[in-house]
Amino acid sequence: MNRPVHFEMHVENPERAMAFYKAMFGWDFQKYGSPAFDYWLVTTGKDGPGINGGMMRRMTKGQPKADTPVIAFVCTVDVANIDNSMQAATKAGAKPALPKNAIPGVGWTAYFKDPEGNVFGLYQDDKNAK
């Protein structure tokens, strides 16, 4: 079976995105590559399941081979308390994309748009979810 090993976020304003994800989840960012290449490594944690990733400036029209901004799949983040995390997301500048939803017998999900317009998910384990 093939598993995800890296994620990548494409953003318009890297400083704003770093501030949001640092405040929301405590993620760390480290500049990578040459100064002319806007890319950062994203460390999401050291323990347990999960992956680290990267962040780069969103390519827009007018750049080579970039007729539209990158459209990517959603990354969902495991949280201890989805209600608290939903409040923290809104406080940090995110906008709701899809409301809190039960996955019966599994847990809860909710989706938000970060300040860059990227959708991310929140997930909380809860075998009693209905």
- pTM for this entry: 0.84
What is the CATH number assigned to the segment(s) 7-125?
Answer: 3.10.180.10
pLDDT greater than 90 at residue 22: yes
Domain ranges, ordered by start, for the chain: 7-125
> How open is the CA angle 26-111-77, to the nearest 5 degrees?
35
Tell me the pLDDT tens digit for each residue of 89-130: 999 999 999 999 999 999 999 999 999 999 999 999 999 999
pLDDT greater than 90 at residue 44: yes
68: pLDDT confidence band, cut at 50, 70 and 90?
A: low
